[in-house]
Structures are given as C-alpha cells and as structure tokens.
Structure 1
C-alpha cells in the first residue's frame, strides 16, 4: 500500500503478518498483535514482509493530550501473563456492530470508540489501566458529550464494571441525580438555549436535543419549565 493519508485519525491493528510502515517522517516495523496510530492528515504506507491481516478504525477525537503516532505492541513487555490490552476485542465488537447494524448501533460504535481512545490515552501517556473510578468519570463525560443521542445506560454501566442497579446508585451518590434525570436536564438546558438563541423550529430543536418526537419534547419541556416551547421563546423576546 503506497503513501496515502486520511482526514481522520486511524488505528491499524495487525492481526497477522509482519512488515514495515512509514508514518510521517519515520519508519517502523510491525509484527502480529502490534497496532499503529496515525494522526489525521499524516502520510503513511504499509509494506508487507509476511502476508498481513489488519483491522482498521478511522475516528475523530478532540480530547487532549493527543494520541502519539507510532507502532506499539498490544502485549506489555515484562507482563508474565502475556496478556494483551483489550484493543482487539473492542475492534471486533465494533466490526460486529457494523455487520449487524442493530438498533442504535451507531451510538454503540461511538461508545466503543470513546472507550478505546480512553484506553489508548492511559496506556500511551504512562497511566495505569483505567480503574473503576476512571471508568465512572468516563461514563459521565460520555453523557455530557452525547446527551442528544440515545444512551444505552446498561452498556455504560457494564463498561464501568457495574450492574445497572449499582451504577444508578453510585451515579446518584456522586451527582445527586439518576442517570436518566441527568441526561434529561442536559437536554432541557440545551433546548432552552436553542429556543432563546436561535430561530430553529420546535421539530428541529426536539431532534437536536435527543427527544424521540415533537410531542415528547413539548410534554417534557412543559413539565420541567411550566410552559410550552413556544411560550418560552416568546417570553425571551419580551
């Protein structure tokens, strides 16, 4: 594969094979169970010494610190158990979601990609594997960024290492709210801002804030604010 580049970050997992790859200005060797990280718009190639099987993931992330380019082993040196980081299982889960395309599969892909990026940041910036508290904080951050989408609380709880009931209990302990209440508050706050700051239609705002329908949005907005979206907008004009 000759030199090329993408507008997104790329992770290439070498399932089988060996060879060399040039990323930017540097050459690397790769072997089975290595993975390459390639920043957006960085030229790279791939030259096979042995027949190579790869899994590739393109993704976008704006979080800091940036992921460093290079080729890394999925197995930690000096680890007597010879255990691999859970990178390949995450990629295989993504591939399964893309094949099956079940309901909300796109949201699940976002969740799995965010988990993968969190893992890579901790691994490559000298951190230890994420503990339960780190995973809990990640789940909270995920809600902050994806409140306008359908959120699978069961999947978030499992990612954090808890049952759904335990996760709800811990979430309320730390935030004072249930997960569902937390997301609804984010959606209503975003809807308020859009109603006062834009001329977008109620239907557009309902969809943008993650409500299933206009009627659901209007009903919940009235329940939470005491007025309809239209009345709320008109009061802001006064």
Structure 2
C-alpha cells in the first residue's frame, strides 16, 4: 500500500551563496525545495514569482520549469518523489510556509536515514516522505480548493493586470461576499488582490526590461503604472534597484554568464 501512494526518489542539500542564480530546469517527478535559511525568489513556468524566506518550501509538479534567485546565502534541501496511482490527492505547485516546522523535522529524519543507511532505510525514506505529504495536504488542501474556485479570477487577472481593476469588480465576478472573497484570495496565494496585481505588473515589467528596447514611460504604461515616476518608485521598492539598474544588471549577466560581473553566480541545475 505504501509503494502505491508515494515513491521516494532523492534528497539533496545545496548551499547557495549570495546572488546565485539557478537556471531554468524541470524534473519528471515532484520536487519539494525547502529553504532552511536565506531569502530570494523562485519563478514557476516563467510566470508566477514567489518570494521565499527561512522555513518555507516550494513545491513543483512534474515538468514544471522553475528558476531560483538567491538574494542572500541560502541552505536548500531538494526532495524528489513520485505519486503512486492510489494516492488520493495531487499537491499543487506553489510556495508554502512550514509554520510549525513539521516538514523540516521530517526532512531532518529523512536526511539522517539516507546518511546512515541502516537496514531498510529505503522503507523509512518512503514513510517519512509519505508523512510529509500528508502533513502538507492537511495544512494546505483547503488552500488548493480555494485556488481552484478562483481560477476564473486568476485567468482574468493574468490577461488584464495592466488595467485599472477595483476590488469590488473582482468580488462581483467571484459571486462571493466582499469579506469572504478577500479571505479565500489571501488563503489561496498568500497576498491580497492588490498585491497580486502588483506582482503581475512587476513580473511583466521585468520581462519587458530584458526583452524589449522601450522607453521607461512606455513600459510603465504597458504594465499599468500611471507614470514612469510611479513605476520607478514601486519597482525599486519591490526589487531593491531601479528599472534602469535592473536592465543593466541583466545585460551584464548576458554578456558574461560565467562571471556575471560579480553580481550573480550561475549555479548548475539542481537535481
């Protein structure tokens, strides 16, 4: 029965230095990436960007492309596994908080089993992996259901984030009450609708800064900002550098991937 639910594949530990960039890659299995410490961000399939902090973990479904940018030195554990045909749930990709440190405790036990390789350690590894997934589903299954119920809203925001969208408009579209909509939206993605729209605008702005040769005023307009000045202030507050500095930083990265002019160090793909 155990093998029918989950199959342990690997557990790896990486220590990433400040400003290390992990290039886009994917896996045929599920991968859980646990951030024991450090700060930075991970992007899933080139779209939704999540900011990680200590004691959070990212979950990637099979063949999800993902990248990581480590703003500070980060200790990272990567757990690979497959779901069996009898597994009654399917975890969703995203970033999650290990509020009670249960997931970390299980990763520690799993790491110990792999290191010591005592008798039947492979069975223990699958038991701990299964317990970890059960804990995740109990804590975040409701969050996943909320996300599914808001799929129409997210698709709308993906297409219209640059428009002037009021919260009441989203509430009316959802069919929920004002307070309940705000509650399940935050439960689903961890941030308010306003901040979700802002994240979409910043993500698109970063794409335009990298891929297009456009004046800042035009990028601001395309991303839904009222002016180049507002765009500059909000971008710098969110990213820590101005749009122009970001563009120059990425240009340096392209010109010298191996060195990145001392700003970023490119890491090999994680397992």
TM-score norm. by structure 2 comes to: 0.43
Highest relative contact order (Cα 8 Å, sep 6+), 1 or 2? 2
| Bigger share in strand | 2
TM-score norm. by structure 1 comes to: 0.48
